[in-house]
Chain A
Amino acid sequence: MSTSLDPVSDDVEVTDNIHENQYLTFLLGDEEYGVDILRVQEIRGWDSVTTIPNAPAFIKGVINLRGTIVSILDLRERFGIESVDYNELTVVVVLRVKGEGKDRIMGVVVDAVSEVYHIAENDLKDPPDLGYAINMDYMKGMATVDNKMVSILDIDQLMSLKDIDDATESGGKAGA
């Protein structure tokens, strides 16, 4: 958390022919996750949402983002991690998601925003197969920064409408 940008850049070996990407990381409990910073539209504090009836549990609802209706997804519930009460540190990362032929804007509820890291493409390691623990499609790779592990997420997979649709159907039946 205290690491500033410069030492991070020093940690990562930068050579001219290595393509580097910037990632915004955030925390879920003790775990740190990163997303491509170019996909981040804005970061805002948690504010109350309007719930959508019969939506999957990880869809918290919709908010008014300057006139457009944007749905909010709880990442803890998406991963099946034990959920916590939202507090003043809870933030919503608004992301641009690609897929199904058009871009969508969706918000993700996380515990707190952490850092911006430069990570070279070849420092991104394929995640080991964790079996049923987490769907590997959501992972783009893993990187080590300051001896900490950061999981880089593939948000297009993570927030695909197909998953929401599947969850909605089962949610609809199990509702009430």
Chain B
Amino acid sequence: MSIDMSQFHEAFFEESFEGLGIMESELLTLDVGAGDVEIINTIFRAAHSIKGGAGTFGFMNVSEFTHVMETLLDEMRDGSRGVTQFAVDSLLGSVDVLRTMLEAARDNTEVDEEMVAARYAVLNKILKEEASDSSSVDDVESVPPADPSVSNSVGEGWVISFIPHTDLLMAGNDPVRMFRALTELGELSAKIDSSNLPPFTELVPEDLYLSWVLTLTGDVSKAGIEEVFEWVEDDCDLTITPLVGNTQNEQAVAEPAAVVEPVAVSTVAPASVKEKVSDNSAANQVAEKKKPATKPKKATESASIRVGIDKVDEIINLVGELVITQSMLDQVGEDLEAHAETASVGGDSGSQKINADILLRLNKGLAQLERNTRELQDGVMRIRMLPISFVFSRMPRLVHDLSAKLNKKIDLQVSGEETELDKTVMENIGDPLVHLVRNALDHGIETPDIRLAAGKPETGILTLNAYHQGGNVIIEIKDDGAGINKARVRAKAIEKGIIAEGDSLTDDEINHLIFAPGFSTAEVVSDVSGRGVGMDVVKTSITKLGGRVVVQSEEGKGSVFTIRLPLTLAILDGQLVTVGGESYVIPLIAIIESLQVDRTQINAVAGKAEVYKLRDEYIPIIRARAVFGVEDNKADLHESLMVIVEVDGSPVGIIVDELQGQQQVVIKSLETNYRKVETMSGATILGDGTVALIWDVNGMVSVHKKKLNNGVIKA
């Protein structure tokens, strides 16, 4: 009994939050009026697992609360209650409350009791509305043995009087095992009658002197109970009578006086006979009582990951192949050794033929090894990959709530949910995505009357799409709303001092102004969006992940936000360059193009900064050698190599010594054993075992600026 349950808590919470996600998304697909039984069943099952788990782990407030939800769901399922918008909304609200309760239980913090009580009140109100219909609430499924709170519910059941003969044990039967089987059928409580127990001196250990009165609640057939006692029916007096009355307590009072003490048979429900009332105050009391009992636990996010068994199997297969390749190469090595001994005696043409044969096998083995390694790398990387539906599944709820709040009609279309993305990227892309969706709803899609006036259908369409392209994941958020009002954006940007009055900007540049810090055009600052921090933060977080976000917009037709993200943070495609004799890696995603400098296009500004005329725009030049503090002997940049990278949306040219090949590199942290290097995002190990540092182009630009200001660099 001393098993430390807290070790399973993490798994329980993880599963519960997953279950909440399922409940939420299914509730949103539920059509008001005609409840699809399959959908309700799915919601029910999710709620049921949470309830069972919460009961097992002693989070009684959670389990009680889920039970009330379950009762409502059950009535919807068997058709005794219609699926109303109000019921669905309050269930959604209950999901939120449940999430808060679970979070509080996980972080060991206080639950907002008022909020819970209010939600209880709403649920109970719905339940009472048609209480007369809910006579058959609890069927087997909804009454798990693990749930103590169930005893208060109106349910069917049986009273089993089980008086075994004294020689029952002789046949190898065990009452406890039978009781356990009964708990599988429904909620079981047992009263033991030990009045026949003889004085200790007369006691025969192999005889059974006890008898039981068992109360089994739940929708159980009599045949089911009889089946349990099938093997002992000749060795006992068994009577099975239907349960009358609602609560176990009444039943208990009705029991003969010989009852000594209640014994709960179910291994996980020691409190099953205790009075449980589902009104608010009692539930809250229980919640309060239970709270200090929960173990303190770190409030950190779990660092575990759930991996599909197919992915693990795949890796095991690959490792198997690797072992085969290894033994094959081993064999080649041995052959070569054996051959070298014989060949030293005489170098005839025969031995040359053997040599060629061994070489062929060696090459084949190495090729196989290369393929195995690559596949194993892919396989291991895939462990960290999760489908983007983890993030997308938050959106239907968001759209549902927001469209009601904003009085807009919106049809959310989601595609590409199965697109896989690195777990770390996934965790960090959620908030920016939510913000973009909110933004599309708030600023993009118009209210129905405006839409109708503009000759568009009343319902706006918001599309979320994800797909792979090259080594990247592309996420699109598209709306058919008003689009970006360029005149207003321009006016606002001038007002905020982001651009000057006379600046000439392309349409595209104006669209991208919305990502500038401190920019917001919403006339009324709502709590949905419009505080002017959002888009700026969206852009920063995406950049931090090594991604990019661009916006295309057409006035009156709508906008598309396209996010381009690296598949994983562990590997990147890089361009190898050399500066001052050292090799460096520039992330390919940052590079726009590379070119050879033409002297005539270089201009100096204020005798300091150099600019380059690239087609029809001027871009700043940064000399990598100067940034790194390496001696620079090239006064004239003519025919130097320049890599043009994108920094904060605008191009910057960086002069490097040499351009080498492109390759995939595994990112290693510099900070593990050293410190953060401002110009570098990390390091990698090249094919020859040496270390190459990976550039952080934003850092390069800021160090360059610092050095210019300090007069360290003179152009």
Are B628's CB and A71's CB within 8 A?
Answer: no
Complex CA distance for A108 and B628, rounded to whole angstroms: 23
A176: contacting residue among B583, B626, B691, CB under 8 A: B626
Is A146 part of the binding interface, using a Cβ–Cβ cutoff of 8 Å? no
By beta carbon, the residue of chain A nearest B675 is A161
By beta carbon, the residue of chain A nearest B624 is A53
Are B582's CB and A173's CB within 8 A?
Answer: no
Chain B residue numbers with a CB within 8 Å of A50 are 582-583, 683, 690-693
Complex CA distance for A174 and B706, rounded to whole angstroms: 12
Chain B residue numbers with a CB within 8 Å of A64 are 685, 689-691
Tell me the A46-75 residues at the B interface (CB within 8 Å): 48-55, 59, 61-64, 67-71
Complex CA distance for A51 and B583, rounded to whole angstroms: 10
Are B712's CB and A175's CB within 8 A?
Answer: yes
Complex CA distance for A51 and B581, rounded to whole angstroms: 10
Are B683's CB and A69's CB within 8 A?
Answer: yes
Is A104 part of the binding interface, using a Cβ–Cβ cutoff of 8 Å? yes
Is A28 part of the binding interface, using a Cβ–Cβ cutoff of 8 Å? no
Are B672's CB and A69's CB within 8 A?
Answer: yes
Smallest beta-carbon distance B700→chain A, Å: 9
Are B673's CB and A52's CB within 8 A?
Answer: no
Smallest beta-carbon distance A126→chain B, Å: 31
Are A69's CB and B670's CB within 8 A?
Answer: yes
Complex CA distance for A109 and B54, rounded to whole angstroms: 58
Chain A residue numbers with a CB within 8 Å of B689 are 64
Complex CA distance for A104 and B675, rounded to whole angstroms: 10
A62: contacting residue among B678, B683, B707, CB under 8 A: B683
Chain A residue numbers with a CB within 8 Å of B712 are 173-176
Are A54's CB and B678's CB within 8 A?
Answer: yes
Is B264 part of the binding interface, using a Cβ–Cβ cutoff of 8 Å? no
Complex CA distance for A102 and B673, rounded to whole angstroms: 9
Are B685's CB and A176's CB within 8 A?
Answer: no
Contacts A52-B693, A62-B691 hold; do A172 and B706 have CB atoms under 8 A apart? yes
Taking residues whose C-beta sits less than 8 angstroms from the other chain, chain A's interface range is 20 to 34
Most buried by B among A62, A71, A164: A62
B675: contacting residue among A48, A61, A164, CB under 8 A: A164
Are B691's CB and A54's CB within 8 A?
Answer: no
Is A137 part of the binding interface, using a Cβ–Cβ cutoff of 8 Å? no
What is the interface of chain A mostly: helix, strand, loop, or mixed? mixed
Is B622 part of the binding interface, using a Cβ–Cβ cutoff of 8 Å? no
Chain B residue numbers with a CB within 8 Å of A92 are none
Most buried by B among A53, A67, A71, A165: A53
Complex CA distance for A48 and B129, rounded to whole angstroms: 81
Are A55's CB and B677's CB within 8 A?
Answer: yes
Are B690's CB and A69's CB within 8 A?
Answer: no
Complex CA distance for A61 and B632, rounded to whole angstroms: 20
Complex CA distance for A51 and B582, rounded to whole angstroms: 7
Chain A residue numbers with a CB within 8 Å of B242 are none
Complex CA distance for A63 and B675, rounded to whole angstroms: 14
Are A69's CB and B674's CB within 8 A?
Answer: yes
Complex CA distance for A62 and B692, rounded to whole angstroms: 9
Are A68's CB and B691's CB within 8 A?
Answer: no
Is A105 part of the binding interface, using a Cβ–Cβ cutoff of 8 Å? yes
Is A143 part of the binding interface, using a Cβ–Cβ cutoff of 8 Å? no
Are B693's CB and A54's CB within 8 A?
Answer: no
By beta carbon, the residue of chain A nearest B712 is A176
Chain B residue numbers with a CB within 8 Å of A70 are 673
Is B104 part of the binding interface, using a Cβ–Cβ cutoff of 8 Å? no
Is B627 part of the binding interface, using a Cβ–Cβ cutoff of 8 Å? yes
Are B629's CB and A68's CB within 8 A?
Answer: no
Is B679 part of the binding interface, using a Cβ–Cβ cutoff of 8 Å? yes
Is B710 part of the binding interface, using a Cβ–Cβ cutoff of 8 Å? yes
Chain A residue numbers with a CB within 8 Å of B582 are 50-51
Is B668 part of the binding interface, using a Cβ–Cβ cutoff of 8 Å? yes
Complex CA distance for A69 and B668, rounded to whole angstroms: 7
Chain B residue numbers with a CB within 8 Å of A68 are 668, 672-673
Is A35 part of the binding interface, using a Cβ–Cβ cutoff of 8 Å? no
Contacts A64-B685, A175-B707 hold; do A54 and B672 have CB atoms under 8 A apart? no
Chain A residue numbers with a CB within 8 Å of B703 are 54, 172
Is A106 part of the binding interface, using a Cβ–Cβ cutoff of 8 Å? yes
Smallest beta-carbon distance A160→chain B, Å: 11
Is B669 part of the binding interface, using a Cβ–Cβ cutoff of 8 Å? yes
Chain A residue numbers with a CB within 8 Å of B692 are 50
Is B713 part of the binding interface, using a Cβ–Cβ cutoff of 8 Å? yes
Are B673's CB and A69's CB within 8 A?
Answer: yes
Smallest beta-carbon distance B354→chain A, Å: 36
Are B677's CB and A53's CB within 8 A?
Answer: yes
Smallest beta-carbon distance A22→chain B, Å: 24
Are A53's CB and B683's CB within 8 A?
Answer: no
Tell me the B669-715 residues at the A interface (CB within 8 Å): 669-670, 672-675, 677-680, 683, 685, 689-693, 703, 706-707, 710, 712-713
Are B690's CB and A53's CB within 8 A?
Answer: no
Chain B residue numbers with a CB within 8 Å of A71 are 673-674
Complex CA distance for A51 and B580, rounded to whole angstroms: 10
Chain A residue numbers with a CB within 8 Å of B627 are 53
Contacts A50-B582, A52-B693 hold; do A69 and B669 have CB atoms under 8 A apart? yes
Complex CA distance for A62 and B583, rounded to whole angstroms: 13
By beta carbon, the residue of chain B nearest A165 is B675
By beta carbon, the residue of chain A nearest B626 is A176
A173: contacting residue among B628, B630, B669, B710, CB under 8 A: B710
Chain A residue numbers with a CB within 8 Å of B674 are 52, 59, 62, 69, 71, 104, 106, 164
Give 3 nearest A-B pairs by CB, closest first. Answer: A175-B629, A53-B628, A50-B691
Q: A52-B677, A67-B668, A176-B632 are known contacts; what are 14 more A-B pairs with Cβ within 8 Å? A: A52-B680, A53-B628, A62-B670, A63-B691, A67-B685, A68-B672, A69-B672, A71-B673, A161-B675, A174-B712, A175-B712, A176-B630, A176-B707, A176-B713
11 CB-based A-B contacts, threshold 8 Å:
A49-B691, A53-B628, A54-B678, A54-B703, A55-B677, A69-B683, A71-B674, A106-B673, A165-B675, A175-B629, A176-B630
* Interface residue ranges, A against B (CB under 8 Å): 48-55, 59, 61-64, 67-71, 104-106, 161, 164-165, 168, 171-176
